[in-house]
Structure 1
Amino acid sequence: MKLSFKKRIATYNMFAIAILMAVAFIVIYAVVFYTSYKHLDDDITTEKIEVFNNLDWSGDEIIMNKMPEWEEAEHKQIEINPTFIQIVDIKGNTVFKSANLQENHFLFNPTIEKTTFYNAIINNQRIRQGQFPVFNNENKIIGQLTIGVSQQESYNVLHNLLIVLCLTYFFMLSVIYFILSFVASKAIAPVNELINSAAKINYANINSRLPVPQNDDEIQQLATTINELLNRLENSFYQQKQFTSDASHEMQTPLAAIKGIVEVLLRKPRTPEQYQTKLNEVVLQTDRLSLLFDQLLQLARLESNVLSVKKEKVVLDNVIQKIATTHQDFFKTNKINFHNNIPNNTIIQADEMLLERVLDNLITNAVKYNQPNGNVYCDWNAKQKTLTIKDDGIGIPPEQVSFLFDRFYRADNSRSSHIPGNGLGLSIVKRLCEMQNINITVESVETKGTSFHLVFND
Structure 2
Amino acid sequence: MIKFFNKKSKISWKITILYALMFIMLLFLINFAIYFFLSNFIDDNIKKNINNTSEFVISQINNQEENNGEYFNAEILQEISRSEENVFFRILSPEGEIRAQSRYLQEMQVPITAQITEFRSGNRRIAVRTINLADYSPATGYLQVVKDITFEKNFLDFLILVLIIAAAFGALISVFLGYFTTKKMLSPINKVTETAREISFNDIDRRLSVKGPDDELKKLALTFNSMLDRLEKAFKKQKQFVSDASHELRTPISVIKGYVDLLNRWGKEKPEVRDEAIEAIKKETENMKQLMENLLLLARGDDSELIKNEELFKFNSLIKEIIKEFKLLKDDVKIEFEEKAEIDFWGDKNLFKQLIRIFIDNSIKFTSKNEAIKLMIDKRKSEKCLVIIEDKGQGIPEADLPHVFDRFYQADKSRTRKKEGSGLGLAIAKEIVESYNGEVDVESSEGEGTKFTIVLPINN
- Taking the aligned partners of 2:179 and 2:433, their CA distance within structure 1 comes to 53
Partner of 2:209: 212
Give 1:376 deviation, angstroms: 1.9
> Do the aligned residues in 2 keep the contact of 1:295 with 1:424 (CA within 8 Å)?
yes
User: What CA deviation, in whole Å up to 9, does each residue of 1:239-264 have, x standing for no partner?
Assistant: 32221221122112233344555666
Partner of 1:409: 409
- Taking the aligned partners of 1:456 and 1:30, their CA distance within structure 2 comes to 78
Normalised TM-score (structure 2) = 0.67
Distance 1:119 1:295, change over 3 A: farther
Residue 355 of structure 2 corresponds to residue 330 of structure 1:
no
Partner of 2:151: 153
Distance 1:305 1:451, change over 3 A: closer
Distance 1:263 1:182, change over 3 A: closer
User: What CA deviation, in whole Å up to 9, does each residue of 1:297-322 have, x standing for no partner?
Assistant: 22334445555789xxx776x16257
Give 1:330 deviation, angstroms: 2.4
Distance 1:389 1:277, change over 3 A: farther
Distance 1:130 1:427, change over 3 A: farther
- Taking the aligned partners of 1:243 and 1:86, their CA distance within structure 2 comes to 111
Give 1:74 deviation, angstroms: 8.7
Q: Amino acid of the residue matched to residue 380 of structure 1?
A: K
Give 1:164 deviation, angstroms: 1.9
Distance 1:255 1:55, change over 3 A: same
User: What CA deviation, in whole Å up to 9, does each residue of 1:265-293 have, x standing for no partner?
Assistant: 76587687x97677555444332211101
Partner of 1:177: 175
> Do the aligned residues in 1 keep the contact of 2:343 with 2:385 (CA within 8 Å)?
no
Give 1:173 deviation, angstroms: 1.9
- Secondary structure at the residue paired with 1:250? helix
Pick the aligned partner of 2:358 from 356, 360, 365.
365
- Taking the aligned partners of 1:432 and 1:75, their CA distance within structure 2 comes to 109
Pick the aligned partner of 1:15 from 21, 26, 29.
21
> Do the aligned residues in 1 keep the contact of 2:16 with 2:178 (CA within 8 Å)?
yes
**Which residues of 2 match residues 109-148 of structure 1 at below 5 A?**
120-121=118-119, 125=125, 127=127
User: What CA deviation, in whole Å up to 9, does each residue of 1:28-76 have, x standing for no partner?
Assistant: 32342243234334424544664686799xxxxxxxxx79999534988
Residue 245 of structure 2 corresponds to residue 247 of structure 1:
yes
> Do the aligned residues in 1 keep the contact of 2:72 with 2:100 (CA within 8 Å)?
no
Distance 1:336 1:435, change over 3 A: closer
Structure 1: unaligned runs, 5 residues or longer: 57-65, 88-92, 109-117, 137-144
> Do the aligned residues in 2 keep the contact of 1:331 with 1:338 (CA within 8 Å)?
no
Distance 1:434 1:448, change over 3 A: closer
- Secondary structure at the residue paired with 2:86? coil
Give 1:444 deviation, angstroms: 1.9
Distance 1:208 1:304, change over 3 A: closer
- Taking the aligned partners of 2:89 and 2:60, their CA distance within structure 1 comes to 16
Q: Amino acid of the residue matched to residue 252 of structure 1?
A: R
- Taking the aligned partners of 2:121 and 2:235, their CA distance within structure 1 comes to 91
> Do the aligned residues in 2 keep the contact of 1:261 with 1:278 (CA within 8 Å)?
yes
Report the count of equivalent residues. 413
Distance 1:308 1:293, change over 3 A: closer
**Which residues of 2 match residues 242-391 of structure 1 at below 5 A?**
242-260=240-258, 267=266, 281-304=280-303, 318=313, 320=315, 323-324=318-319, 327-333=322-328, 334-339=333-338, 343=342, 352-353=347-348, 356=349, 358-370=351-363, 372-383=371-382, 385-391=383-389
Residue 87 of structure 2 corresponds to residue 82 of structure 1:
yes
> Do the aligned residues in 2 keep the contact of 1:440 with 1:455 (CA within 8 Å)?
no
> Do the aligned residues in 1 keep the contact of 2:316 with 2:377 (CA within 8 Å)?
no
> Do the aligned residues in 2 keep the contact of 1:6 with 1:185 (CA within 8 Å)?
yes
- Taking the aligned partners of 2:372 and 2:338, their CA distance within structure 1 comes to 13
**Which residues of 2 match residues 192-231 of structure 1 at below 5 A?**
198-203=196-201, 205-206=202-203, 209=206, 212=209, 215=212, 226-231=224-229
> Do the aligned residues in 2 keep the contact of 1:390 with 1:451 (CA within 8 Å)?
yes
- C-alpha RMSD of matched pairs (Å): 5.1
Partner of 1:233: 231
Identity, % of aligned positions: 23
Give 1:107 deviation, angstroms: 4.5
> Do the aligned residues in 1 keep the contact of 2:375 with 2:387 (CA within 8 Å)?
yes
Q: Amino acid of the residue matched to residue 286 of structure 2?
A: D
- Secondary structure at the residue paired with 1:392? strand
Structure 2: unaligned runs, 5 residues or longer: 63-70, 137-142
Normalised TM-score (structure 1) = 0.67
Distance 1:442 1:307, change over 3 A: closer
User: What CA deviation, in whole Å up to 9, does each residue of 1:400-425 have, x standing for no partner?
Assistant: 33323322123454664565432224
- Secondary structure at the residue paired with 2:441? strand
